Homo-oligomer: A and B are copies of this chain.
């Protein structure tokens, strides 16, 4: 892997584990094996490197969600597949966790890819819920955008509950609770 690649990948890991405020250039250098000079040659500084890392993580997250949401199945089945997909629950969401970082929220540049990713996910799910309403799988009383927000929030909040308790169980419970509420009557 090239030096800039190694810097980005190490930064991605550290941002996931420790957030922006908790990640120092020194830690990135140690993990990547690069020297001080290399980092400042390829990137303007901590924020520039973090931006490259966040953009890549956002792209990956979107592609992986699309892989499931654009797959086979009825709307309910695709939502279920998304909610039940394997996740490293205790590590949390590499994008969502950034919203709790004061310096990410303070910088429009750093926040933009986070916002765009979660917004895309909500829109994607809203379309699927609408599809389900039209097909009669979901009640017409549901609102696509609102239901989609609830689905994304349940996932993001599920990580919070799991990390608080140190176990994925609470995440799974929240997902099962939501699926029971969404489940079509037979």
Contact = CB atoms under 8 A, between A and B. Distances in A.
Given A21-B22, A154-B154, A182-B181, A149 B170 contact: yes
A1 interface: no
Contact of A21 (B21, B143, B150, B156): B21
A174 interface: yes
Q: How large is the interface on A (under 10, 10 to 19, 20 to 34, 35 or more residues)?
A: 35 or more
B164 A160 contact: no
Contacts of A182: 181
A114 interface: yes
A131 B111 CA distance: 42
Interface of A: 17-19, 21-22, 92, 96-97, 99-103, 105, 111, 114-115, 118-119, 122, 141-143, 145-161, 163-166, 170-171, 173-178, 180-182
Q: 3 shortest A-B CB distances, which residue pairs? A: A153-B157, A156-B157, A157-B157
